[in-house]
Amino acid sequence: MMDFTVASLLDQANTHPALQGAAIVLGTFILEDAATVLAAMQVQADALPLWVGLISLYIGIVLGDIGLYGLGRLAAAVPWARRLIPGQQRQGDGRRWLQIHVFKVVFISRFLPGARLPTYTACGFFGASFPRFALATTLATLIWTSALFYVSLRVGHVLMKYLGVWRWAGAFGFAVVVVLLGRLAARMQETR
């Protein structure tokens, strides 16, 4: 007989790659950088296969980006949201410019903290080419997430070697630092 208690589900999630992957995908919808750091720490602790961690991160982050694009498309269908963009001429100019530069804009925004939400929703709102958007976000995600994952693996190795049982406190601290540095960089860009 199958046991479906919460405790048994948590035990299964700790060892079953599909459940681990689903948890990582969901984690990317909350805080993708923290999910990346924590997945790398799990790989470093031999609690998660490397391929499950990376593939789940890529899938979750790209799905989240596509979701932001979709929110922009939905907003474009709402009359009061369309009125927030002044003048039909400006909308047309923005749409034309974005169609030409969508790949570059989306790719660069992946590396600028705080730029993804407004950029990706604007791409959807103005109807930028979805295939070019999806290609740019996928390639940028592969680069950025792989780099952050690699750094997190290295930090995880140090934490496990020197902090012992306190390694998870160190991992939590590292994840908080990554998130706060991203927020700080976004604020610094806003002031420019």
Angle (CA) 116-103-38 rounded to 5° is: 40
79: which residues sit within 8 A by CB, 6+ positions away? Answer: none
pLDDT at residue 10 greater than cutoff 60: no
Residue numbers of the domain that contains 171: 16-187
Give domain status of residue 11, yes or no. no
pLDDT at residue 161 greater than cutoff 80: no
Mean pLDDT across the stretch 171-183? 69
Give domain status of residue 21, yes or no. yes
Give me the half-sphere count of Cα atoms (radius 13 Å) on the Cβ side of residue 94. 14
Give domain status of residue 152, yes or no. yes
Q: With 0-12 CB in 10 A as exposed, 13-18 as middle and 19+ as buried, what is 116?
A: buried
Among 41-55, 126-140, 142-156, name the most confident range.
Answer: 126-140
Q: How confident is the model at residue 1 (pLDDT cuts 50, 70, 90)?
A: very low
Q: How confident is the model at residue 90 (pLDDT cuts 50, 70, 90)?
A: low
Give domain status of residue 6, yes or no. no
Residue pair 47/14 in contact by the 8 Å Cβ criterion:
yes
Count structural domains, the chain.
1
Give domain status of residue 50, yes or no. yes
